[in-house]
Amino acid sequence: MKPVSPHTGLRAFESALLLFSIVLSFPVQAQPGKTDIVARTVIATSLDGEPGKTMTVGFVVSNQGTSERTVWVDLQAPRSWRVVLTDPPFALGAGASDLRLVTLAIPATASEGMYEIRYVSAPADSPADSSVAIAKIRIPGVRQISLIHAESPKHVVSGSTYRAIFVLTNHGNRPEIIRLSAAGLENRFTTRLEATSMQLAPQESRTIGVSVETQPNGGDAYYYRADLTAQLESDTTIIARASSTVQILPGMQAVERRYQNFPLLTTLRWGGEQGQSGPQFELFGSGAVNIEGTDRLDLLVRTPDLQQKTILGYRDEYRLG
C-alpha cells in the first residue's frame, strides 16, 4: 500500500471545511412560529398600580426583517380591567423599533397581588407568527374607610327618641370587618347602635342607624351631638368619625306623646327687571312625623313663577313627599 502524504490529508480536511462553509452560507428558512416582529416591555421589573386609577404601560416593538411590515396588536388584560387606549395596526420599517403605549383603567375592587398584561404583536399578514411581551403590575393592599352623616331630624322635643343615619363605605380592595361605637355629648342621653360591627366587601357601602333617647326637659332649647366611630379590625390605626347634631326643644312628656314636632320655614322674596317686578312666597318643611323618626315628611310650596319677571327668580314648585 502506498503511504498517504501528510499534505494530502491536510488538503482533504481543507476541502471538507470549505464545503461545510458553503452549506452554512445558504439561506436558512425560519422555524415555524418564528416572526420578524418582536415585542418587549420597556421596564424589566414590575410596575406599581393603584386600584381605581388609570396607568400607562410602554412596549417596544421591533421589526427584525428586511422589509416594512404592518403590525397587528392585541392587548390581553386581567378580567374586569378596562383598556382605555391601545394600538390600531401600524406600519414598521425594516430594522426599525417603535415605542407603543397602552392605557388601562384598574378597577377599584382589584385585589392585592401581581397581575400580567400581555402585549401580543404579529405581522398583519401572518397573525399566527406572534410575539408576546408580558408586563407585570403589582397592586398593593388598600385599607381605607369613610363615614358620613346622611340624615337626622333638625329638631326633636325633649323626652322623645330620634334616629340618626350614617353611611359607612369600604374604599379598600379587600373585605374588612369594621367595629362601631357611638357616644353622645357628655353621655347625657342613651345612645343605641343597630350593629356594633359589620363586614364590608371592597367598595361596599352600608347605612347605620343610631337611636338617641332624650330626657324630658322643660328648660331652654339646646343642641345635642351624637358621635359615631368606625375602626378597622385588621388595622386599629384606621379610624373614621362622623357626628349628628340635633336641636332639643323643651316640652312636657305628656304632650310629646300626643304631638310630633314638624318645623316649617317661610320665605318671601321680591325681584324684577326691565320694569317688571313681583313677589314670591315659599313654604318649606322637612322632618319626622313619628317619635321614632322612621317616617318623614317633606313639603315645598313656591308660588308664583317669579322667573318670568327676572332671571334671579325661581319657578313655582309644589312638592309633597
For residue range 290-299, what is the model confidence (pLDDT) as tens digits?
Answer: 766 678 888 8
Q: What is the dihedral of CA 158, 161, 167, 170, to 10 degrees?
A: 120
- Alpha-carbon gap, residue 195 to 277, rounded angstroms: 55
User: At residue 31, does pLDDT exceed 60?
Assistant: no
**Highest-pLDDT range among 165-169, 260-264, 305-309:** 165-169
Mean of the pLDDT values across residues 215-222? 81
Cell matching residue 233: 379590625
User: At residue 279, does pLDDT exceed 80?
Assistant: yes
Q: What is the dihedral of CA 21, 22, 24, 26, to 10 degrees?
A: 160
For residue range 233-278, what is the model confidence (pLDDT) as tens digits?
Answer: 999 999 999 999 999 998 754 444 456 677 788 888 877 787 788 8
Q: What is the model's pLDDT at position 20?
A: 32
Confidence band, pLDDT 50/70/90 cuts, at residue 202: very high
User: At residue 309, does pLDDT exceed 90?
Assistant: no
Q: What is the model's pLDDT at position 259?
A: 60
Mean of the pLDDT values across residues 288-309? 77
Residue 118's closest CA among 80, 85, 78?
Answer: 78
Beta bridge partners of 267: 282
- Alpha-carbon gap, residue 17 to 11, rounded angstroms: 10
> What is the Cα gyration radius of the chain?
38
Q: What is the model's pLDDT at position 320?
A: 86
**283 C-beta neighbours (distance < 10 Å), count:** 13
- Alpha-carbon gap, residue 158 to 252, rounded angstroms: 8
- Alpha-carbon gap, residue 169 to 109, rounded angstroms: 13
For residue range 116-125, what is the model confidence (pLDDT) as tens digits?
Answer: 999 999 998 8
User: At residue 81, does pLDDT exceed 90?
Assistant: yes
Q: Where are the domains of the chain?
A: 37-139, 145-256, 264-320
Cβ(163)–Cβ(228) below 8 Å = no
Cell matching residue 198: 359589620
3 state SS of 187: helix
For residue range 139-149, what is the model confidence (pLDDT) as tens digits?
Answer: 999 999 999 99
User: At residue 177, does pLDDT exceed 80?
Assistant: yes
Task: Identify the residue with better confidence: 306 or 277.
Answer: 277
Continuous H helices in the chain: 6-25, 253-256
Preceding omega of 304 cis (within 30 degrees of 0): yes
For residue range 45-62, what is the model confidence (pLDDT) as tens digits?
Answer: 889 999 999 999 999 999
Q: What is the model's pLDDT at position 282?
A: 81
- Alpha-carbon gap, residue 166 to 147, rounded angstroms: 7
Task: Identify the residue with better confidence: 70 or 272.
Answer: 70
Cell matching residue 108: 377599584
Residue 135's closest CA among 57, 50, 54?
Answer: 57
Within 13 A of 218's CA, how many CA atoms are on the CB side?
Answer: 4
Q: Does 145-256 match 37-139 at the fold level? A: yes
Cβ(163)–Cβ(132) below 8 Å = no
- Second-level CATH architecture of 145-256: Sandwich (2.60)
Confidence band, pLDDT 50/70/90 cuts, at residue 69: very high
Which fold does the domain 37-139 belong to in CATH? Answer: Immunoglobulin-like (2.60.40)
Confidence band, pLDDT 50/70/90 cuts, at residue 288: confident
Share above pLDDT 90 across residues of the chain, in percent, rounded to a whole number: 51
Residue 261's closest CA among 274, 270, 252?
Answer: 252
> Could you tell me the pTM of the whole model?
0.57
Cβ(246)–Cβ(153) below 8 Å = yes
